[in-house]
Structures are given as structure tokens and as C-alpha cells.
Amino acid sequence: MKQLENVRIFGGEQQVWQHQSATLNCTMNFAIFLPKQAKTEKLPVLYWLSGLTCTEQNFITKAGAQRYAAQHKVIIVAPDTSPRGDDVADNESYDLGKGAGFYLNATQQPWAKHYQMYDYIVNELPALIAEHFPVNGKQAISGHSMGGHGALTIALKNPQRYSSVSAFAPIVAPTQVPWGQKAFQHYLGDNQTQWTQYDATALVNAETRLPIRIDQGDKDSFLTEQLRPELFLDACRAHHVACEYYLRQGYDHSYYFIATFIGEHIAFHAKALYQDSEALPL
């Protein structure tokens, strides 16, 4: 791996690393915040998945999460949102191709060669983090918009891997909204059975026991057409699954919204990550 950035913040270090991904067949960046305790302890990890058009930079520069991660002794890993490189397939639309990986494994050409973001997030990246950083094996996952979709689907498909899941303004039912339908048609083809494997509303079931939290702004311009949280909440109620849901008055889809409530999300995850510990951080 190659270190690209290392900045001191709230007693810890905000780093950006580059590596060659075997899963994505390209060079990838990821950001990692290491609290000061990481110098002497192995700590749990919160994975953050960003939304459409983002890279690893958006979250680390706009969310203000490092203050709370330092307080709660949580490492945060923020990967890029898609494969990158001159030979990676792309599209002129902002919601397809680079910056729009949708955290799935593409099966259709020209996407399948590189767009294997699900396997990258679930398998390759955690293995890389475990090899090179002081982590204790406990993981949680969160994200925003397209990344909220990714966090929910990945956690619901792999409940044994994550202590908790949360999302800001997630695309909860991509098979039923334009963003998801466009991406799934291109990445996965016509087989809609495959589509439902990446749809949180379709994946939630009576066996779901993970702590789940969703925050949504009521002034979000994408709320009624693209996000539709009521579909996921209805599915949770139908299966008697608990979900903490907060509709935030006056907030939109931006990082101003995320920065306002990220501290609550990190506290939510820290509670789950440290639930078996006698020394729960404040």
C-alpha cells in the first residue's frame, strides 16, 4: 500500500491510502481515521459508504466525524464509491459508472470486469484493514444515500459480520425507484431476482436482529421519488423488526445534515461495538 495523506486531528490521524484491488482490477483509495488509542489498543471499525458522485474525500472533509470517533474509540474506514482508472467503464450520467458503483457485483458487460463493489466492501477491504491496522474484529457499517443503500443491504446480507447498521437518507428500495432501476438494469441486466438481492426492503425479514438506525431530512429533494423510507419501514413492521427512524425537520440531503447528526450515529454504533466490554467509552 501507498500512503497518500496523514493529517493529525483530535489527537488521532486521518490517513488516505492507495492499493491495487484484485477484486476491482484497478487502483483504489480508502480513508481511515485512527484515534490516538490505536497506537496501543486494537479498536472496532465503522465502515462509511458514501453516495453518488463521491470519493473517499467527501466524508472525511465534510462530516466532522473524527471528533466523535476519537471520543468513542472507533476507527472509521471510508472507501471510494466505485472502481477508478482509465480502463474502467463509465457513463456520462452522474448516477451510473464511476462514482456510482451501488455496492453490488455487476454481472453485465462492460461493467462486470471492475464493478464488484459488494465483494470489495465485504471481503477484500476488511481483510486489508485487518492485515495493516490495529483492529479487533468488531465491525459496524453506515452510509449516505447510495451508500445508505449499500450499508443496509450489506449488513442485512451479512448480519454475522456487523454489530449495527445506520444510514442517512438511504435508497431503501432501489428496485422501485429510478436511481436503482437504472443502475440495476445496466449492472445486473433483466433478471429482477438478482435485483432484489441488493434491495434492503426486500432483504429485511423476521430473522433480522441487527440494531438499525435511519435519519432522513423532510426537506430532502429526493425524498418522495428516490428514497421512499416508508417502504423499508413498512417491511420492518411487517416482519416485526425494530428500526430507529428519525425524520428531521428542515434538513436536506447534504453533508450539513450528516454533520448535524453524525455524532449520534457514531454513539449508536459504539454502543453496539462495545456492548460486551466493561469499559464502554463515553
Residue 282 lies in a domain: no
Instruction: Name residue 43's beta-bridge partners.
Output: 135
User: Taking 70 as the threshold, does the pLDDT of residue 194 lie above it?
Assistant: yes
Q: Using alpha carbons only, what angle is made at residue 50 by residues 164 and 150, rounded to the nearest 5 degrees? A: 50
Lowest mean pLDDT segment, chosen from 55-64, 153-162, 267-276: 267-276
The arithmetic mean of pLDDT across residues 127-149, rounded, is: 98
Residue 184 lies in a domain: yes
Give the pairing type, strands 75-79 and 165-168.
Answer: unpaired
Report the distance separating Cα 87 and Cα 183, nearest Å: 19
89 in Cβ contact with 43 (< 8 Å) = no
User: Taking 90 as the threshold, does the pLDDT of residue 280 lie above it?
Assistant: no
pLDDT category of residue 266 using cuts at 50, 70 and 90: very high
Residue 81 lies in a domain: yes
Measured on CA atoms in the order 239, 164, 170, 67, is the torsion positive or negative? positive
Tell me phi and psi for residue 4, to 5 degrees: -100, -30
Residue owning grid cell 431530512: 217
Catalytic residues: 145, 220, 253
Residue 105 lies in a domain: yes
User: Taking 80 as the threshold, does the pLDDT of residue 133 lie above it?
Assistant: yes
CATH code of the domain containing 118: 3.40.50.1820
User: Taking 80 as the threshold, does the pLDDT of residue 179 lie above it?
Assistant: yes
- Domain membership of residue 11 as a residue range: 2-274
Task: Encode pLDDT of 200-219 as tens digits.
Answer: 999 999 999 999 999 999 99
pLDDT category of residue 276 using cuts at 50, 70 and 90: low
Report the distance separating Cα 123 and Cα 111, nearest Å: 19
Residue 280 lies in a domain: no
The arithmetic mean of pLDDT across residues 248-258, rounded, is: 98
The count of structural domains within the chain is 1
Report the distance separating Cα 113 and Cα 110, nearest Å: 7
Residue 85 lies in a domain: yes
> Going along 22-57, which residue ranges are E strands?
26-34, 43-49
Across all residues in the chain, what is the average pLDDT? 96
Task: Encode pLDDT of 72-82 as tens digits.
Answer: 999 999 999 99
- Nearest CA to 173 out of 93, 248, 210, 227 is that of 227
Residue 50 lies in a domain: yes
Residue owning grid cell 480513508: 31
Query: Which residues, 6+ apart, have CB-to-CB distance to 275 below 8 Å?
Result: 163
Hey, what's the cell of 213?
Answer: 438506525
Residue 279 lies in a domain: no
Report the distance separating Cα 64 and Cα 258, nearest Å: 9
User: Taking 70 as the threshold, does the pLDDT of residue 277 lie above it?
Assistant: no
User: Taking 90 as the threshold, does the pLDDT of residue 282 lie above it?
Assistant: no
